[in-house]
Amino acid sequence: MTLPPNFQEQINDIEQKLTQAQAHELREEKFAIEANERFTNNLAAFEHYYPDVFKAIQEFQPREDFCIHVTKSGHGNFVPKGKEAPLYGEDPYQQVNTQVNTALTNPTIAKTEYTKVDLLNFDERLHIQYMQKLIEYIRKIGLYEQSDSLSEIKGTFPSAMIFGLGLGYAVESLIERVEFSYIFIIEPDFEVFFASLFCIDWSKLIQRVDDEKGCLFLLLGASEQELAEDLSNIAEDIGAFCIVNSFCFQHYQDDKLSKLAQNFYSNYFRFQFGFGFYNDAITGFAHSLIHVQNNENFFNQDLDIIKRNESNPPVFIVGNGPSLDESIEYIKRNQDKAIIFACGTALGSLVKAGVNADFHVLVERPLRNYEALLDMLPVGEYKKVNLLSVNTVYPDTVDLYKWSGLALKGNEAGSDYINLQHYIKNKKGLPFIPHSNPLVANTALSFSLSFGFKDIYLFGVDNGSVNEGLIHSQLSIYNDLHKGKFDYEELDLDSDSVIGNFNKLIKTNSTFKMSNNQLELLISLFPKSDVKNVGDGLSINGATPVHSDELIELGCNINKSEEVAFIKGLFSQIDILSNSHVERIKTVFDEIISHLISIANESVVTVKEAADNLMRQSRYIYSFKDTVNRFYFNILKGSLLYFHTPMQSVLYSLNEEENNIEFYNGLNKIWLSYLSDIRNDFPVSCNKKCHWSFASKSPTLLKQGNPLKVLQVYSSAYTAIDVLYQYLSKLDSNFKFVGRNLVDEPVASRKLVKSFSSSECIEAYTADPLISELGFEKNDIIIFNNLLSDFIGNEKGVVFIRNPVLMYAEMKKYYINSKDLELEITSKLMSMVKAFKDKKFRSIISSGQSSLANFCSYYNYKFNLNLNSMVVIKFEDFILSPSIINTEIANLLDEDIVKKAEEEIVSLNSYIENDKLLLKYITNEERAEIEANCYELLNLYGY
């Protein structure tokens, strides 16, 4: 018999396959022994450290074909349910190490850009002033302009947000390389986690994290909504600084996992805002004491035992959103058939429409909100309605109403103190109304559901706008051309558009989104309720979206007096101990804040030492959280969070450790000063009403009777102001300037600002206390960079005007990559005119016309304002020859300050060249339209 020519090769191949099969069989046997041992050890570890996870493991039933495959490297591999391919190749550890190395050397870090926060100095409250100092320090050091920004994570890092556990190999690799203070593992597929119990030594991993005093959070099987809620709860429990500066790592590709990661980024704002701050807390505490002293009525009925009668009438909760206008006729027709809760300024809208509210709901605590009430309606109108509010509300507010009732608001020092004293005296606590923050609509819905009402209509609770320029009802005081003496500012809609009711795009912001989330959580607590979300607003999970014209007319009139009496019967005066404990509270608080200062004062030389110091501070304050002394925690937690998160971010901002420590120490000095001022302020403010008034905001305070030389400046070209500052600083180094900080302008402008810092040019917002604090003298020049509409008519100043063609071209350039250029420009113009007090100006921008037409309307109106005492200078002329300002300033200030600058201020060629480049962004047709529509002004100023 003749053998095939390749017979020997076939024999060798068979022998090799037999050898491989035998080797694989040996690997499987070895893996099976080790895997079973790991599984047993892991169960014991989870039973000890994570009993809830241990219980879930015991109850879990894997699918029948559950199988862990063994790779050539001897490690486990797994094919998740619904997938065709396994998680790894033949060598999972090599694959994972490569992935982890890439992620750590090119890290994705979730963090906040703190200098974007626009905190105004005219808010004199302690926390706001110190936040401004913090922001100004970060701006001063140019933190976000550093060329040495962190490019690799090594050593220690605050947090790791791991999306996708896989079989755990990546987690092992990460914690071997980096010591994280907080580790979050997010794995939506519990079976994948179950498989990992056979593949890695969880007991060793958990022990290592524990030895390093870290925290490991396992978020297993979570949906998108559950993930956001779980992370929010963790942030509330241990502090948001565990989340807000996170290294983000997605281990494997999966649609559900990617959505969870996107959900985290979308909800990032929720983890760092809404925690209050010192002044809010101490004001709420003081107001709570005053309300108790005044024997006000408090909600004093257990939620579980409130019984509604069978009628259970409808409740209208009326917010002041734009969709209220579409619903107002329905509300008028049915006002006698429902209990009406008016939220905040919506009461004024209802009064205008002829609707009688049964209850006015309020939540804000400052004096200015009380002033707004007096400004919004005659006092007699409030005597027709009842008040529902919370224990932190401004004390004088309750006297305006026919009847008033207060409820304890959660996460408030004052609420904790009242509840503790009530329990000591009566062996029973008081109920807290749930999820009553951050807006008054949240409070109103919380009241109505807590009272046992089930049929609830939300009108004007939009939390955004389908019309990008309209945030409130047309009936609102915000849109009233004949409103009162105060200037009411609307919240900006600053986020991307999101899907709302009826699949419409809604512009919103972080506060509105937080309010919406709280509404959803609240509704979920009352599953038997029927909540209708009427109109074009953000969609609310658990509420039914409905158009106002689809609403069915209600039935018979209800007995309102009976229903109102039922609600009032849930409130009573409370009997608690006197305020004799307040002196003791002052003593204990001084001890707490002094100990916190002593920790913060400790010297640190490494990033690890600084991070540990921050953790010790936070854990000390959080140690009071679940004790009878919880109110101390609630006084300090917000300010602790808002300072510690940027301090932590600074520690991990650059590659060089010594630079990070230098920046950290600078912030720590501000933090220590803040704590010292809190220590001094607490004994004074803990039983004193809020004094933050609208008067604190008025820019005219500095103008009336002010002996200083004041130069008002307004510009449509920020660069002109930069150059002006430099020029004046060169004229006389003794001049001091106060102007608006231009950090949001391009980097080139910021560099200009820095160049004259040696001339004592002080940048700040205008504020009444500022002048005395900075020690200005009679002959100093102060520059206020105000809006034109802030002028009272006789100030001396300069207006820089710019060619409208170039202005519009620059706007187009800025938004050139946006999805909807028209929408973005119109939205920008709307936000710009909102800053003006002149409501006619605000009304000229319309979403019904093109962005170019809106721009022309804006430009014409803006520069036609009658400013008899203002000098108008063309930006282009000033850039070419800054010295033209000499004569004008001399005339304005009635003194000769003309001096020759000894050196060139700045090279201006770049600005001239930039203007030439801008022309490519505008078409000939657009240029012709601008020149036609703005002809008079162009002719007047020689363009």
Tokens of 718: 């920020």
User: Of the ranges 350-359, 511-520, 666-675, which one carries the lowest mean pLDDT score?
Assistant: 511-520
Which one-letter DSSP state was computed for residue 538?
A: B
Q: Greater confidence, 872 or 399?
A: 399
Tokens 């039933």 sit on residue: 61
How far is it, in rounded angstroms, from Cα 683 to Cα 590? Answer: 9
Per-residue burial over 894-909, b if 16 or more Cβ lie within 10 Å, else e, is eeeeeeeeeeebbebe
Q: Assign 567 a pLDDT band (cuts: 50, 70, 90).
A: very high
- For helices 126-140 and 630-651, the axis angle rounded to 10 degrees is 10
Q: Greater confidence, 425 or 790?
A: 425
The whole-number pLDDT of residue 532 equals: 97
Sheet holding 155-163, edge to edge: 108-110, 246-250, 155-163, 178-187, 215-220
- pLDDT higher than 60, residue 114: yes
SS3 category, 365: coil
pLDDT (average), residues 844-852: 77
Burial grade of 822 (CB within 10 A; 0-12, 13-18, 19 or more)? middle
How far is it, in rounded angstroms, from Cα 548 to Cα 533? Answer: 10
Q: Are strands 68-70 and 76-78 parallel, antiparallel or unpaired?
A: antiparallel
User: Of the ranges 35-39, 365-369, 690-694, which one carries the lowest mean pLDDT score?
Assistant: 690-694
Q: Are strands 297-299 and 571-573 parallel, antiparallel or unpaired?
A: antiparallel
The whole-number pLDDT of residue 909 equals: 53
The whole-number pLDDT of residue 692 equals: 81
505 CB contacts (<8 Å, ≥6 apart)? 466, 497, 498, 499
Residue type, 177: R
Residue type, 111: K
Q: Greater confidence, 237 or 293?
A: 293
User: Of the ranges 50-59, 205-214, 479-488, which one carries the lowest mean pLDDT score?
Assistant: 479-488
pLDDT (average), residues 843-854: 78
Which one-letter DSSP state was computed for residue 264?
A: H
Structural domains in the chain, CATH included, are 11-107+150-271 (no CATH), 111-147+581-697 (no CATH), 281-573 (3.90.1480), 698-940 (3.40.50)
- Contact yes or no for 803/828 (Cβ under 8 A): no
- pLDDT higher than 90, residue 468: no
pTM over 0.75: no
Tokens of 745: 């302008």
Q: Assign 284 a pLDDT band (cuts: 50, 70, 90).
A: very high
The whole-number pLDDT of residue 767 equals: 35
Q: Greater confidence, 163 or 29?
A: 163
Q: Can you say whether the dihedral through the CA atoms of 26, 29, 32, 37 is positive or negative?
A: negative
User: Of the ranges 4-13, 559-568, 744-753, which one carries the lowest mean pLDDT score?
Assistant: 744-753
- Where do runs of H (alpha helix) occur along 461-548? 510-524
pLDDT (average), residues 684-710: 60
φ/ψ (deg, to 5) at 342? -95, 125
Tokens of 286: 């003081």
What's the Cα-to-Cα distance from 389 to each of 53, 363, 463, 596, rounded to whole Å?
41, 6, 20, 34
- Contact yes or no for 438/511 (Cβ under 8 A): yes
The whole-number pLDDT of residue 227 equals: 84
How far is it, in rounded angstroms, from Cα 884 to Cα 870? Answer: 15
- Contact yes or no for 207/173 (Cβ under 8 A): no
673 CB contacts (<8 Å, ≥6 apart)? 130
Tokens of 433: 């109304």
User: Of the ranges 441-455, 617-631, 681-695, 700-714, which one carries the lowest mean pLDDT score?
Assistant: 700-714
Torsion (CA) 601, 606, 608, 609 in degrees, nearest 10 = -30
Give the model confidence (pLDDT) of 571-592 as tens digits: 999 988 666 688 889 999 999 9
837 CB contacts (<8 Å, ≥6 apart)? 487, 789, 790
The whole-number pLDDT of residue 837 equals: 55
Q: Across all residues in the chain, what is the average pLDDT?
A: 80
How far is it, in rounded angstroms, from Cα 515 to Cα 521? Answer: 10
Q: Assign 137 a pLDDT band (cuts: 50, 70, 90).
A: confident
User: Of the ranges 2-6, 566-570, 807-811, which one carries the lowest mean pLDDT score?
Assistant: 2-6
The whole-number pLDDT of residue 846 equals: 72
The closest alpha carbon to 261, from 250, 251, 245, belongs to: 250
User: Of the ranges 46-55, 197-206, 464-473, which one carries the lowest mean pLDDT score?
Assistant: 464-473
Residue type, 628: V
Give the model confidence (pLDDT) of 705-716 as tens digits: 334 455 555 555
- Contact yes or no for 62/184 (Cβ under 8 A): no
- Contact yes or no for 195/86 (Cβ under 8 A): no
The enclosing H or E element of 752 equals helix 747-755
- pLDDT higher than 90, residue 895: no
pLDDT (average), residues 784-799: 51
The whole-number pLDDT of residue 740 equals: 41
Tokens 């960079």 sit on residue: 785
Tokens 């209708």 sit on residue: 532
Q: Assign 799 a pLDDT band (cuts: 50, 70, 90).
A: confident
Q: Assign 281 a pLDDT band (cuts: 50, 70, 90).
A: very high
Question: Could you check whether the bond before residue 378 is cis, i.e. omega within 30 degrees of 0?
Answer: no
User: Of the ranges 212-221, 506-515, 682-691, 721-730, which one carries the lowest mean pLDDT score?
Assistant: 721-730
Q: How far apart are the first and last CA of the chain?
A: 105
- Contact yes or no for 535/547 (Cβ under 8 A): yes
3-state percent helix, strand, coil for the chain, nearest multiple of 5: 50, 15, 35
Tokens of 877: 């002329």
Tokens of 324: 């209220």
Torsion (CA) 153, 154, 155, 160 in degrees, nearest 10 = 40
User: Of the ranges 114-128, 196-210, 318-332, 899-913, which one carries the lowest mean pLDDT score?
Assistant: 899-913
The whole-number pLDDT of residue 771 equals: 39
Give the model confidence (pLDDT) of 858-894 as tens digits: 888 777 654 555 677 777 777 666 666 666 655 555 4
How far is it, in rounded angstroms, from Cα 864 to Cα 815? Answer: 27
SS3 category, 543: strand
The whole-number pLDDT of residue 238 equals: 82
Give the model confidence (pLDDT) of 262-280 as tens digits: 888 877 776 766 678 999 9
The whole-number pLDDT of residue 793 equals: 47
Q: Assign 35 a pLDDT band (cuts: 50, 70, 90).
A: confident
The whole-number pLDDT of residue 700 equals: 31
DSSP of 589-636, one letter per residue? HHHHHHHHHHHHTS---SHHHHHHHHHHHHHHHHTTTTSTTHHHHHHH
The whole-number pLDDT of residue 358 equals: 97
Give the range with max mean pLDDT: 375-379, 427-431, 439-443.
439-443
How far is it, in rounded angstroms, from Cα 288 to Cα 301? Answer: 19
How far is it, in rounded angstroms, from Cα 342 to Cα 347? Answer: 5
Q: Are strands 246-250 and 108-110 parallel, antiparallel or unpaired?
A: antiparallel
Q: Greater confidence, 24 or 588?
A: 588
- Contact yes or no for 630/624 (Cβ under 8 A): yes
